[in-house]
């Protein structure tokens, strides 16, 4: 019992500490909105770069700049010049509005032979859904409504309906940035 209690306290303190190192707005800039984190990497999107490339009754395509920032428990992970290590890349998201499916354009890599639209699962392990939820937040910025969020989705692995892997606080960051 003592071991279980110690483990619970450790996990609680660790998650509370790690969540606090990721600011809701990178550099305090309300255009750079937090979308999630994993293993010391914070994911942000640049709201000012968002472009709706296509919007019909059945589909939508959005381009947005995604930023990744390396953090430590003390804040930014700095390079040799004492600058935060931040990388930016343009990301494309495709939304199938009829089937409520979201996709992200993936460039060739050692895992992908050619360019392709990769399906983003609404629920499941973080390995399936991804660690950043920029496609969801981009859709929310563009249309002021949730795409995957706010409802349960069927998980083929667990055979039950589940909520998405992120909290409503991400939408709150977008709403607060408007003020």
| Sign of the alpha-carbon torsion through 140, 44, 108, 123 | negative
Task: Kindly report which listed range (68-77, 111-120, 150-159) carries the lowest average pLDDT score.
Answer: 68-77
DSSP code for 44: E
Cα–Cα dist 71/33, whole Å: 16
Query: What is the pLDDT, as a whole number, of residue 80?
Result: 53
CB hemisphere CA count around 108 (13 angstroms): 2
Contact call for residues 177 and 47 (beta carbons, < 8 A): yes
Q: What is the mean pLDDT of the chain?
A: 82
pLDDT at residue 178 greater than cutoff 50: yes
Query: What is the pLDDT, as a whole number, of residue 131?
Result: 65
Chain centroid to Cα 58, Å, comes to 24
Query: What is the pLDDT, as a whole number, of residue 107?
Result: 80
Query: What is the pLDDT, as a whole number, of residue 14?
Result: 35
**Averaged pLDDT, 149-155:** 90
**Averaged pLDDT, 149-175:** 90
**What residues form DSSP beta bridges with 78?**
84
Query: What is the pLDDT, as a whole number, of residue 126?
Result: 76
Res. 179 pLDDT band, cuts 50 70 90: confident
pLDDT at residue 122 greater than cutoff 80: yes
- E-strand stretches of 20-144: 32-38, 41-55, 59-72, 75-76, 86-96, 101-106, 116-120
**Averaged pLDDT, 152-174:** 90
Task: Note the pLDDT tens digit of each residue in 48-93.
Answer: 999 999 999 999 999 999 999 887 665 655 555 455 678 899 999 9
pLDDT at residue 1 greater than cutoff 90: no
Q: What percent of the chain has pLDDT over 90?
A: 49
Decide which of 150 and 56 is more confident: 56
């Amino acid at each position: 019992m003592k071991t279980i209690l110690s483990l619970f306290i450790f996990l609680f303190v660790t998650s509370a500490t790690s969540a606090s190192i990721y600011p809701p707005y990178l550099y305090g800039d309300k255009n750079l909105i937090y979308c999630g984190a994993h293993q010391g990497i914070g994911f942000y999107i640049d709201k000012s770069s968002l472009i709706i490339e296509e919007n019909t009754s059945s589909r939508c395509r959005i381009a947005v700049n995604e930023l990744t920032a390396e953090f430590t428990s003390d804040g930014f992970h700095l390079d040799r010049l004492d600058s935060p290590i931040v990388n930016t890349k343009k990301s494309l998201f495709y939304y199938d509005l009829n089937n409520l499916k979201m996709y992200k354009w993936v460039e060739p890599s050692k895992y992908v032979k050619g360019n392709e639209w990769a399906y983003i699962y609404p629920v499941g392990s973080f390995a399936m859904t991804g660690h950043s939820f920029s496609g969801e937040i981009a859709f929310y910025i563009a249309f002021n409504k949730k795409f995957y969020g706010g409802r349960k989705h069927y998980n083929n692995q667990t055979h039950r309906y589940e909520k998405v892997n992120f909290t409503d606080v991400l939408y709150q960051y977008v709403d607060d940035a408007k003020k």
